[in-house]
Amino acid sequence: MQSASRRPRSRLHLLLPFLLLLLVSCGQGSSLRTSAPSATSNAATRQVRATATPPPTPAPTPTATASTTVQLSVQTELEPNDYAHRNYCAEGAIATLLSTWTTALPSIDAIGVAAHVVESYGTIGANAVQAINAYLEQITGTAKFGYTGTHVTSLPAFESELETDLSGTGRFIAAGHGSPVLVHVMTATLPGWDGYQAHHMIAVFGYNFTAGTPAGDTVTYAESAGSVAGYNGPQVETISLTALWTAMQNYNTDITTDPVTVIS
């Protein structure tokens, strides 16, 4: 018996499986190329791109510095021009100092009591310091502006004390103003004394250090003495730093009982 003949398959039928496989493969490739980045990926990108803004640099705190020229506003006080007050120069200098702190100045006699003045001699440096500090604490309510008596033998050290106190730097920054420096001198070489030699205290309340040399730089001080004490001149004197230093050195050479040369 003749077997039934087989009908040949069409080419389309044979190629169909391969076409389906090819379509599936292309779809997978296209899907990989167009897929969106994940949320985690976006967050990481934002973190990388974000830049931290640095905090602003704080402005430096200004520091008070000494000026080359200072002239304080003071009230000068004269000793009563009589024999009993001929040695009240320290009291007059203290009154000038206190005038930069208050307008209600104590009298020369009251200061003399506070500073334990001796009529025949005057006031020693340590007692002057004690009186100044007692008054300042009463006026300001604090002891932080206190003065100290020192034996100064170096001109640069003396200049530094003048600049610090008169310019209102150092301990006086909180006060907002400067204050005079009191100085022990011998009078013979100073103006107005006509060669008369005596132990004396003055209040230096101004300086001009623009020249940069002791001979060219000047200081301004208050004179409290009168003619009975041997002084015949104005209440305010301006002399070279060299001239003042000479009078201070003469005091250092002559005096032995009171080593305080500068109260600042």
Tell me: pLDDT of 238 over 80.
yes
Least reliable range by pLDDT among 35-39, 185-189, 202-206 = 35-39
Tell me: pLDDT of 31 over 90.
no
Tell me: pLDDT of 27 over 80.
no
Tell me: pLDDT of 47 over 80.
no
The three-state (H, E, C) secondary structure of 27-94, written as one string: HHHHHHHHCCCCHHHHHHHHHHHCCCCCCCCCCCCCCCCCCCEEECCCCCCCCCCCHHHCCCHHHHHH
Least reliable range by pLDDT among 11-20, 54-63, 105-114, 225-234 = 11-20
Task: Provide the pLDDT for residue 46.
Answer: 40
Neighbours of 161 (CB within 10 A): 20
Task: Provide the pLDDT for residue 255.
Answer: 78
pLDDT digits (tens, 9 = 90+) for 65-93: 778 999 999 999 999 999 999 999 999 99
Task: Provide the pLDDT for residue 216.
Answer: 98
Task: Provide the pLDDT for residue 232.
Answer: 97
CA distance to 54, 55, 202, per residue, from 48 (Å): 16, 20, 73
CA 169 – CA 17 distance, rounded (Å): 100
Tell me: pLDDT of 57 over 80.
no
Fold of 69-263: Cathepsin B; Chain A (3.90.70)
Task: Provide the pLDDT for residue 257.
Answer: 81
Specify the pTM: 0.76
Neighbours of 261 (CB within 10 A): 21
Percent of the chain with pLDDT over 70: 75
Q: How confident is the model at residue 256 (pLDDT cuts 50, 70, 90)?
A: confident
Task: Provide the pLDDT for residue 128.
Answer: 98
Tell me: pLDDT of 23 over 90.
no
Tell me: pLDDT of 126 over 50.
yes
pLDDT digits (tens, 9 = 90+) for 131-151: 999 999 999 999 999 999 999
